[in-house]
């Protein structure tokens, strides 16, 4: 089982140090520290374990070190920055793991970019050696790329010529959409396995700066100080310590303090319930717990294809946190709000069916209402359960200002805008419901829910919907859901994830990449891959 919680004291692959406003995150991958099998992590190549530590480090810097204004990413191994994803790991991994691995690594890189855009935390890639594949993609996530000019170090994306696959964590998209590399230059670069060095890399916008070995350290110091000077972080803000997550896992359930999951393996479903609380630490704790659960389900429970989303609690308990999430005014509030944004985005990008179940006792309020808006379908009980001895009050859906722009999706739109894309009148009417609790009949009229069965039909409608979903091809569902969830404009993020859910899915399972004579299997063997040259 893969777990996703780490602490700097446990890192095997990264060294994290602090010097005032500058943090240094140095990659020193333990060659024998592979998480999943018998492969060596040579030349700072990485697997999911390496990236889980990176994700933890970035998040801890954001929350626990408000004094840090710039993070220097470099290597502690002479002559090599990072060789990218480990090829032996990819060759031996299941298809599902390869795709989820690429998705997780890209979510981490997007978090780096978000930390720069929204948290004032700048990132400097101090590329002090050969930088290829996923290593260059990690550098691409940074604000500034400084390459050592030693006549041997280069940057490269060699996946197409050497491995028969695509750069899996957004490399191609970042070339054109972020760094504005011309498409002809990008074409040459992505098929030039040895990469590009020095001044040529600057001319093609692949990096920002070079420095010779004799002055490289001085250049890193000067550039990190310059980047730190552009930050708006509050150096005297109170740190927000990320305490260990308390989690219990059994064969049929996963339980946290505020989040729980019931696993029904026979029905291929998992019911996730988030419980509201007025506790001051609820917003941070619930976000971290939900994030941990979503990662766990992705990697460890591939057969649970449908997620039903439930909430429990009292509306006022969520509203206590609403203003801080919508309009954060402190370091702690800003980072907690941004964490909820990232967790909801991870939910949007999860390749599982999402059904929201809104019944009496539910608490789809404020940030928790975003769970219902993220769902592929929503079922809201019209009325109460008549046969209950002590029936709970009628369910309500309560949108707040959080739904008006605080938590945008990967396409840059709110979930309401995505829901009503192209129908401005319906969007305006739905926005009119913000601030007021809405019962089932009204929510259905406004288009905020999909179905509103009464007590008589409730059990059958929900059951049949779940059973029907389990009968479909999960491959087709993944493609369908990814298309429906992201209406409207393309962004760098939606381009990246559409390639992961479609192109990369397809390319990874083709024999040219993964077959017995494919590039992943032949890599390093001394024999060339054998390609089927038919184009589809």
Instruction: Note whether 187 and 281 are same-domain residues.
Output: no
Q: Measured between alpha carbons, how far is 97 from 8 in angstroms, rounded to an integer?
A: 25
Q: C-alpha distances in angstroms, 252 versus 101, 256, 260, 261, 265?
A: 25, 14, 11, 8, 8
Residue 279: is it exposed, middle or buried by C-beta count within 10 angstroms (0-12/13-18/19+)? middle
193 and 266 both lie in a single domain: no
3-state secondary structure 229-290: CCCCCCCCCCCCCCCCCCCEECCCEEECCCEEEEEECCCCEEEEEEECCCCCCHHHHHHHHH
Query: Based on the domain organization, do 214 and 264 belong to the same domain?
Result: no
CATH number of the domain to which 343 belongs = 3.90.226.10
Same domain, 121 and 270: no
Cα–Cα nearest to 292, from 240, 330, 242: 242
Residues 303 and 452 in one domain: yes
CB neighbours of 425 closer than 8 A, spacing ≥ 6? none
Q: Give, for all 536 residues of the chain, the pLDDT tens digit.
A: 999 999 999 999 999 999 999 999 999 999 999 999 889 999 999 999 999 999 999 999 999 999 999 999 999 999 999 999 999 998 899 988 998 999 999 999 999 999 999 999 999 999 999 999 999 999 999 999 999 999 999 999 999 999 998 888 899 999 999 999 999 999 999 999 999 999 999 999 999 999 999 999 999 999 999 999 999 999 999 999 999 999 999 999 999 999 999 999 999 999 999 999 999 999 999 999 999 999 999 999 999 999 999 999 999 999 999 999 999 999 999 999 999 999 999 999 999 999 999 999 999 999 999 999 999 999 999 999 988 888 899 999 999 999 999 999 999 999 999 999 999 999 999 999 999 999 999 999 999 999 999 999 999 999 999 999 999 999 899 889 988 999 999 999 999 988 777 777 788 888 998 899 999 889 888 899 999 999 87
**Cα dist. 495→104, 125, 481 in Å?**
15, 24, 15
| 500 lies in some domain | no
Contact (Cβ atoms closer than 8 angstroms) between residue 530 and residue 164: no
CA–CA dist 46, 68 (Å, integer): 26
Pairing of strands 353-358, 306-312: parallel
Query: Quick check: is 515 in a domain?
Result: no
Note whether 181 and 294 are same-domain residues.
Answer: no
347 and 315 together in one domain: yes
Taking residue 246's Cβ as centre, other Cβ atoms within 10 Å add up to: 10
In contact, 194 and 154? CB cutoff 8 Å:
yes
Q: Which pair of structure tokens corresponds to residue 372?
A: 């219902």
How many structural domains are present in the chain? 2
* 8 A C-beta contact, residue 381 and residue 358: yes
Q: Cβ-count burial of 68 within 10 angstroms (0-12 exposed, 13-18 middle, 19+ buried)?
A: buried
Classify residue 171: in a domain, yes or no.
yes
Confirm whether 340 is domain-assigned. yes
Q: What is the DSSP letter of 194?
A: T
Tell whether 220 and 340 lie within a shared domain. no
Report yes or no on 167 lying in a domain.
Answer: yes
- Are 97 and 86 in contact by the 8 Å Cβ rule? The answer is no
Both tokens assigned to 198: 């020095």
Q: Could you tell me if 366 and 358 are in contact, meaning their C-beta atoms sit under 8 angstroms apart?
A: no
Query: Does residue 309 form part of some domain?
Result: yes
Q: Indicate whether 441 belongs to any domain.
A: yes
331-348 and 48-64 are packed helices; what angle lies between their axes, rounded to 10 degrees?
150
**124/64 same-domain check:** yes
Rounded Cα gap, residues 417 and 426, in angstroms: 10
Closest listed residue to residue 307, CA positions, set 343, 271, 273, 347: 271
Identify the bridge partners of residue 131 per DSSP, sorted by sequence position.
Answer: 82, 155
Whole-angstrom distance, CA of residue 513 vs CA of residue 168: 13
CA separation for the pair 136, 80 (Å, rounded): 11
The DSSP bridge partners found for residue 271 are: 262, 308
User: How many Cβ atoms sit within 10 Å of the Cβ of residue 187?
Assistant: 14
What is the reported pLDDT for 68? 98
Q: Which domain holds residue 85?
A: 8-228
* Phi and psi, residue 233, nearest 5°: -65, 155
Q: Are residues 72 and 125 in the same domain?
A: yes
pLDDT score recorded for residue 391:
86
DSSP state of 175: I
Residues 6+ positions from 410 with CB-CB distance below 8 Å: 345, 348, 349, 486, 491, 493, 494, 497
Q: Are residues 212 and 252 in the same domain?
A: no
- Give just the sign of the alpha carbon dihedral 418, 322, 52, 292: negative
SS3 465: helix
Tokens of 104: 């997780």
Count CB neighbours of 398 within 10 A: 22
| Residue 536 belongs to some domain of the structure | no
**What pLDDT is stored for residue 505 in this prediction?**
74
Which run of H or E residues covers position 203? Answer: helix 198-203
Cα-to-chain-centroid distance, residue 299: 13
Where are the strands (E) in 83-141, listed by range? 84-85, 122-127, 129-132
Strand stretches in 101-243, DSSP E: 122-127, 129-132, 144-148, 155-156, 209-211
> Please, are residues 531 and 164 in contact by the beta-carbon 8 Å criterion?
yes
- The domain boundary, picked from 485, 508, 528, lies at 485
Q: What pLDDT sits at residue 482?
A: 87
Task: Report the alpha-carbon distance of residue 355 to residue 307 in Å, rounded.
Answer: 6
Whether residues 223 and 282 fall in one domain? no
């Amino acid at each position: 089982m893969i777990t996703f919680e780490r602490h700097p004291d446990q890192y095997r692959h990264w060294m994290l140090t602090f010097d005032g406003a500058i943090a240094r995150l140095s990659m020193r991958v333990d060659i024998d520290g592979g998480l999943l099998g018998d492969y060596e992590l040579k030349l700072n190549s990485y697997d999911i374990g390496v990236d889980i530590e990176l994700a933890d480090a970035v998040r801890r810097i954001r929350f626990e070190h408000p004094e840090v204004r710039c993070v220097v990413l470099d290597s502690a191994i002479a002559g090599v920055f990072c060789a990218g994803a480990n090829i032996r790991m990819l060759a031996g991994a299941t298809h599902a793991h390869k795709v989820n691995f690429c998705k997780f690594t890209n979510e981490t890189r997007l978090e780096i970019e978000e930390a720069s855009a929204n948290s004032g935390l700048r990132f400097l890639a101090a590329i002090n050696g050969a930088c290829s594949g996923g290593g260059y993609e990690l550098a691409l996530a940074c604000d500034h790329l400084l390459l050592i000019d030693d006549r041997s170090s280069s940057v490269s994306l060699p996946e197409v010529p050497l491995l028969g696959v695509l750069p899996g964590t957004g490399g191609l998209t970042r070339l054109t959409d972020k760094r504005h590399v011309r498409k002809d230059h990008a074409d040459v670069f992505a098929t030039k396995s040895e990469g590009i060095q020095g001044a040529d890399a600057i001319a093609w916008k692949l990096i920002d700066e070079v420095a010779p070995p004799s002055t490289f350290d001085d250049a890193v110091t000067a550039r990190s100080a310059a980047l730190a000077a552009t930050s708006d972080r509050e150096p005297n803000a109170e740190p927000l310590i990320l305490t260990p997550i308390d989690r219990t896992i059994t064969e049929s359930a996963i339980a946290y303090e505020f989040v729980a999951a019931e696993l029904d393996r026979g029905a291929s479903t998992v019911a996730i319930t988030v419980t509201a609380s007025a506790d001051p630490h609820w917003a941070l704790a619930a976000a971290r717990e939900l994030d941990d659960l979503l990662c766990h389900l992705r990697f460890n429970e591939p057969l649970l294809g449908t997620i039903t989303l439930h909430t429990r609690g009292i509306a006022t308990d969520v509203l206590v946190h609403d203003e801080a999430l919508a309009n954060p005014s402190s370091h702690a509030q800003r980072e907690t709000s941004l964490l909820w944004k990232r967790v909801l985005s991870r939910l949007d990008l999860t390749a599982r069916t999402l059904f929201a179940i809104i019944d009496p006792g539910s608490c789809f309020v404020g940030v928790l209402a975003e769970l219902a808006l993220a769902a592929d379908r929503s079922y809201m009980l019209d009325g109460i359960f008549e046969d209950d001895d002590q029936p709970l009050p009628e369910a309500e859906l309560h949108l707040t200002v959080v739904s008006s722009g605080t938590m945008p999706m990967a396409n840059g739109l709110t979930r309401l805008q995505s829901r009503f894309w192209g129908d401005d009148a319906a969007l305006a009417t739905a926005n009119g419901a913000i601030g007021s609790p809405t019962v089932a009949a009204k929510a259905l009229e406004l288009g905020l829910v999909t179905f509103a069965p009464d007590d008589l039909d409730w059990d059958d409608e929900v059951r049949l919907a779940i059973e029907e979903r389990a009968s479909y091809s999960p491959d087709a569902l993944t493609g369908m859901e990814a298309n429906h969830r992201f209406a409207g404009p393309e962004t760098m993020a939606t381009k990246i994830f559409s390639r992961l859910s479609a192109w990369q899915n397809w390319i990874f399972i083709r024999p040219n990449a993964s077959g017995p004579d494919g590039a992943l299997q032949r890599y390093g063997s001394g024999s060339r891959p054998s390609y089927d040259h038919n184009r589809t």
